[in-house]
Structure formats: structure tokens, C-alpha cells
Amino acid sequence: SRKAEEDLKVAAGELMLAPQALRDGAYASEERRQVDQIGSELAALGYDAQGHEASRESVRAFEPYRDLYRRLSEAEANLPAQKDALGATCQMLDRRHAEIREAAVRIAALDAEMKALPQLEANLQQVQAQHSILARQKDEAQVRQGILEQQIQRCETLANEIREQEQRLRGMVGEKAIYDELTTAFGKNGVQALIIESAMPQLEADANEILGRLTENRMFLKLELREGRRDRTTGQPSEELDIRIADEVGTRSYETFSGGESFRINFALRIALSKLLARRSGAPLPILFIDEGFGSQDRVGQERLTEAIQSIQNDFKRIIVITHIEHVKDAFPVRIEVEKGPNGSTFRIV
């Protein structure tokens, strides 16, 4: 603004005059006058600068005593409290001494315990090892306990099953006794043995009649029941049929006769059995097959066999004799001849 410009010009003019004023001493005239006035007043008072400085040094020398006095006053004021505090401190010190003595006793005890520490550590390790063993044994025992509990439960289940089976067994034993009686009754030593025993006289008579024809009454057989081997199930002895044959030499067993003689014995027994079955059934048996056997006989034996067959022809509807001997073929009225050719076998009725 215009005023600022005017102020700036005035300040610039004064600044230009300032160096000359400093050289001439033409500055701060009022302030310089006041200084001169103060100097005159000091001179009038007779001021001693050295004395003033010495006084100040003395004051400064007594300054520590002022602080000591202050501290002494404070100490005198605090003396009762300090006495009380000293008494409390003495009491506390006595307690601390007692505690120190107790601590010394404890330290001695701890020293003794420290000396025993290696043994205690060894004992601890031993106890820990025993604890580990016992813990493992406990785990194993718990496992065994679980297994035994399962086994006990299984045993209880089996015991119940055994009781049920025993109850069933008692019932089955009674049934078995009945079945054993029935087995014995219907077995070889029961009804069958009775039937055979009752039929033996007639069977023996019929067989001897035919055997007498075949041997001119030179051979005679005897049927006997004797005790045989014991049955594994019942323990009872079985009955076996023993065939004893008598001839001019004496009474012998069946196994000692020749093939031709055995055939005649077999023939007589089989024909006797056939007649027995025919009588029991009440009607002639349908058919009787005689396969070979003539070759084991001499000419006379063959003729006697033929006569024996012809004598029982009324006991059967059909008797079929299989033979390759020509004069035996001629002894029967009807023949079925089988011939083997290149195209196979053929038969014709003669």
C-alpha cells in the first residue's frame, strides 16, 4: 500500500544514516544519558566492588552450613520416628537372625539330603522302572481280563448249550434204547435169526433130499447156528450159519470139498432156498436160472443134476439152464440156441 511504501522509504533513509551515526556516537542519546546518570549516583554512594565481592564470598562460604542446619532441624524433627523405625528394624533384624538360624538348619538338612540325592535318584529310577513294569503288567492284565471275560461269557454260553444238549441227550438216550431194541429185534440176531432158525429144519430137509439124489445118499449136510463176531455197535455176538457135510470120510466143513462136490452142495442149498421162498410166498417162483456148473461133474453127476432139475420143475414157472454140454441140452424138451455170426449173435427156439 502507499503507507507501506512511505514507511519503507523512511526506513531506507535511516539505514543509510546509521553508519555515520555509529561513527559519530550519535545514537541512543537518552539511554546513554541514563547510564551516565547511574554512574554518577554510584560514585556518590562510595561503592566498593572488591568489598562487595568479598561479602559475597563469605555468604557463599556459609551457604553449606545453612543446608546442614536445615538437615539438622529435619533430623531432630524426624528423630522420634527414626527411633521407632530403628526399634522396628532391630525387631525385624532379630527375626531375620532367627530366620537365618532356621535357614541354616534347613540348609544343613538340605545338604544331608543333597548328599543322599544320588541314592534317591537311583531309587527314583528303580521306582520308575518298576512303575513302567507294573503299568505294562496292568495293561497286559487288563487285556487278559478282557479275554477271560469273553471266555467266561463263551463258557456260560457253552454251558447253556451243554445243558440244552444234555437235556436233548437224555431224551435221545431213551429213544436210542428203543431203537437199539428195534435194531436188535430186526437185525441179524433178532427176527431174522428167529426166521432162519425156524426155517432151518425144513431147509435142511429139502437140501438133503436133493443132495441125496445127486450123491446116491452118500452126502448129508447139517445146518447149525453158532456164536460169531461181536457187533461193534451193540456189543452183542452175531449168529453165523455153519454148514457141516458128512460123507464116507466123515463130517467136514464146506471148504474142504472139491469143486464138483461144492457145486452139488451149492445146488442143493439153492434149490432148497428157492422151494422155501415158494412155500412162504404161497405161489411158485417165476423163474430159476442155473448158469453152467455141469462141467464140474462127471457123466453120472451130470445125469443126476438133470434128474434133480426135472424133479423140481413144478416148483417154478420157468427153469432156464445155461450149458454147452450137448447131452445135457438134449435132456430138456425146449431149447434156446444162441449162435454167434459175423453180424452179431442170434437165437432160435428148438
**Predicted confidence (pLDDT) per residue in 106-139, tens digit:** 888 877 777 777 877 788 788 888 888 888 888 8
| Mean pLDDT for the stretch of residues 231-255 | 77
The predicted-structure confidence for 295-349, as pLDDT tens digits, reads as follows: 667 777 778 778 877 777 777 778 888 888 887 788 788 888 888 888 888 888 8
Q: CATH code for 187-349?
A: 3.40.50.300
Residue 35 is placed in which grid cell? 547510564
Residue 65 confidence (pLDDT):
67
Q: Give the torsion through C-alpha atoms of 314, 319, 323, 327, to 10 deg.
A: 30
| pTM, 2 dp | 0.42
pLDDT higher than 70, residue 24: no
pLDDT higher than 80, residue 16: no
Query: With bands split at pLDDT 50, 70 and 90, how would you rate the model's confidence at 40?
Result: confident
